[in-house]
Copies of this chain bind each other. A is one copy, B any other.
């Protein structure tokens, strides 16, 4: 039989899979010689058995019995022993922290007899009865599934009957009466008596913890956080210690350094004569931890020693829970503490400088997401700003604008050049235009997976959601906030998409110092210095090159300053917009070969100039140029608008001709229509014009002593034959002009990935277009579905995260791996990159590293994120550049 129970002296911090985070860390502290109340852990393997078979493994009860007996021997008293009861807590503890789960039942072992023993031994009858009623309350709620309000209502009734306001005004007799009331509640709502046999209490609590793994909230939480569903949870049985035995008792939390800044020091809170749950309930105010020095110097000094020991041992900021029982310090929990993005960077290199960790480890301790947070513009000095309320920071950034209450008004004002903030109770697909027009979005309802949050993040637009203190009245075009403040249409608001803060009036927005550093400023403060050291080390380690998606010289130059090692995606269709639209219209309306030729001839020099600017900005580095991708009608007016114009008699002759063309080119599903390489195959001269512009730009710059490196990329290839046809023409043009360029293809259709072995015959490089590949693999178009149902899908846990944000490894990622493997099998020196938006997403970058790509390409602003994550990925896979 496997071992299902571990005493704290038997485990250690590396056994989180088996013992959960809490159990593993309690064992670790025990082995460090720290004062941890004795106890043991029932493993997650036992839980998995229970979930699968509906019963605990054979022999588990006996094994628990043995460990309980050992605990009783150590404590010198038996569980629930009438004259001097051993009490225990039963705490869940999974590998990953899961707030959706049942947490704790305290005071197990109390019953109608042992409550007297506890009263006598503690000399505190009120404490004993209070502990007993707390047991029934927690047990009833979490084990017997009784509505918690029933117990709260009973305690409120007791206070009302006595005419007092606070629990502290209730005495022993009151609590004794409450115990009776609580037992009645249990009998009535659970259909059974409250179990007074201590071992039965414990067994039921253990099974309840096991079962809580599959509670709906826990399932939902796991789906959203992408925690595997089959891990199960461990259960910790710990001897009770009490912080509420008098003024020489108490409970507290501590951090080994400041989680907001990383500064070393004594941070934490302490509450005298209290148990942990009182701190959470906020019944009384805590004091700063430093006050403990005066209250109980011995315990304080011991705590400081322990904190130092833990930090050195865990080599990281630790977060600690402790209790002092009658002057004796007990450690109840420790774990590596959460921190802000800025603190993470600072702490990482503080620890390096202290010699606790090496640089590899420092880089692993920070994330690209944290770096991205540090790069968003932020509100400068908010000291004088009037904060109205705080919602959830749903999509980061700092936005300032005039309040509007309808999408239509947002579009109107934005059309007049105004910055607007769109206020809605919640948004729906109908608000899409307004969201696009607005600088920021503020809603009074919904969480981080609400429609507003999902769509705003997709757009990269600042969003605060769930600001519940706001009452939004669309009809009156106003919102009422706390303190009788009324916001009317046109009033200026400032919203912080990271903190969720909402300010009245304009707050000045400043660039992030981290961005200034990437732009070339010298390091100025400890944070920027830490970022600098992180980036240097990540660059040293990473194997993946990082390129930029940029369509003009200016963006290319900026990307280079941010560290881009070339352009991975230059979209040429942007060069068909603006005043050049006319040529595209001419091209489409051309009735003869000569007309078409003339339109193409007019476009060529303009394209050539565009390419020259980009080549100059990226001199010496590769520039991947994608030939025109979208369908031609995207450059023409909208069908419905034009039809209405013609039908209502407002159209010119030109409009009527144009309408015919628009109708001819109209597609039911343009994303799946005549675009990409299909255009190149079907429209004579179109790709040739673009290739010629690239070739001539290259030739002219070489002539001028520069060093351009063009890579010509064919979009939307599904079959090697398409590529062969286009490649043949391009090769001929390059040879004519006497320059060289790589010719490769996007892999953005499932079929391209599935036949990559064939396609590699004709391609010198692949670049994964993961946006389109995600759309075709899932069969949904981002524009249509993100707003229509992604919020609902995230709520239901169908996605943990939008597959447009983080690469879907099981589906799209599998295609990427197939294409990498089979493409390289055909052509071992095939260059492999990715130019979808996933190129700047931290988790996805790790996948691309593992999949063996040569580079990722992303928007200029995400380049530092990609560099950092590429370094972290290399370190994690023990590779070096």
Considering only residues 607-654 of chain A, those with a C-beta below 8 Å from chain B are 639-640, 643-644, 647-648
CB–CB A779/B716 < 8 A: yes
Determine whether A82 belongs to the interface, using a CB cutoff of 8 Å to chain B: no
- Cβ contact of A672, chosen from B758, B784, B810, cutoff 8 A: B784
CB–CB B811/A754 < 8 A: yes
Interface on chain A toward B: helix, strand, loop, or mixed SS? helix
CB–CB A779/B751 < 8 A: yes
Q: How many residues of A contact B (CB 8 A)?
A: 59
CB–CB B815/A754 < 8 A: yes
CB–CB B789/A430 < 8 A: no
CB distance from A494 to the nearest CB of B (A): 32
CB distance from A674 to the nearest CB of B (A): 5
What is the 8 Å Cβ interface bit string for chain A, positions 792-829, against chain B (1 contact, 0 not)? 11001111000000001011101100000000000000
Chain B residues, CB < 8 A from A669? 669-672, 781, 783-784
Determine whether A718 belongs to the interface, using a CB cutoff of 8 Å to chain B: yes
CB–CB B798/A674 < 8 A: no
Residue of B nearest to A796 (CB): B725
Chain B residues, CB < 8 A from A789? 674, 678, 681-682
Determine whether A367 belongs to the interface, using a CB cutoff of 8 Å to chain B: no
Determine whether A429 belongs to the interface, using a CB cutoff of 8 Å to chain B: yes
CB–CB A796/B721 < 8 A: yes
Determine whether A346 belongs to the interface, using a CB cutoff of 8 Å to chain B: no
CB–CB A798/B750 < 8 A: no
Choose, from A84-92, A463-471, A769-777, the stretch at the interface.
A769-777
CB–CB A751/B778 < 8 A: yes
Residue of B nearest to A772 (CB): B779
Determine whether A64 belongs to the interface, using a CB cutoff of 8 Å to chain B: no
CB–CB B749/A778 < 8 A: yes
Residue of B nearest to A800 (CB): B721
CB–CB A798/B719 < 8 A: yes
CB–CB B797/A777 < 8 A: no
Residue of B nearest to A789 (CB): B682
Determine whether A854 belongs to the interface, using a CB cutoff of 8 Å to chain B: no
- Cβ contact of A811, chosen from B750, B777, B814, cutoff 8 A: B750
Determine whether A668 belongs to the interface, using a CB cutoff of 8 Å to chain B: yes
Chain B residues, CB < 8 A from A722? 798
Number of copies: 2
Chain B residues, CB < 8 A from A799? 719
Bound together, the chains give a CA A643 to CA B668 distance in angstroms of 17
Chain B residues, CB < 8 A from A748? 779
Chain B residues, CB < 8 A from A812? 751
Bound together, the chains give a CA A639 to CA B798 distance in angstroms of 31
CB–CB A671/B674 < 8 A: no
CB–CB A681/B758 < 8 A: no
CB distance from A712 to the nearest CB of B (A): 20
Determine whether A735 belongs to the interface, using a CB cutoff of 8 Å to chain B: no
Bound together, the chains give a CA A718 to CA B758 distance in angstroms of 27
CB–CB A754/B810 < 8 A: yes
Determine whether A780 belongs to the interface, using a CB cutoff of 8 Å to chain B: yes
What is the 8 Å Cβ interface bit string for chain A, positions 706-724, against chain B (1 contact, 0 not)? 0000000000101101100
CB distance from A669 to the nearest CB of B (A): 4
What is the 8 Å Cβ interface bit string for chain A, positions 734-760, against chain B (1 contact, 0 not)? 000000000000001111001100100
Bound together, the chains give a CA A799 to CA B720 distance in angstroms of 11
CB–CB B749/A673 < 8 A: no
CB distance from A751 to the nearest CB of B (A): 4
Contacts A223-B721, A643-B640, A682-B792: A672 and B780 contacting too (C-beta < 8 A)? yes
Residue of B nearest to A718 (CB): B778
Determine whether A788 belongs to the interface, using a CB cutoff of 8 Å to chain B: yes
CB–CB B776/A750 < 8 A: yes
Determine whether A785 belongs to the interface, using a CB cutoff of 8 Å to chain B: yes
Bound together, the chains give a CA A810 to CA B720 distance in angstroms of 12
- Cβ contact of A751, chosen from B670, B719, B796, B811, cutoff 8 A: B811
CB–CB A788/B751 < 8 A: no
Shortest 9 CB-CB contacts between residues of A and residues of B: A751-B811, A672-B781, A673-B784, A750-B750, A749-B779, A669-B781, A721-B798, A669-B669, A667-B784
A sample of 9 cross-chain residue pairs with beta-carbon separation below 8 angstroms, ordered by A number, consists of A668-B671, A671-B672, A672-B672, A673-B780, A674-B788, A681-B789, A718-B779, A751-B808, A751-B811
A667-B781, A668-B783, A669-B670 given; name 11 further pairs at CB < 8 Å.
A667-B788, A669-B672, A672-B785, A673-B784, A673-B785, A674-B785, A682-B792, A716-B779, A750-B779, A751-B777, A751-B812
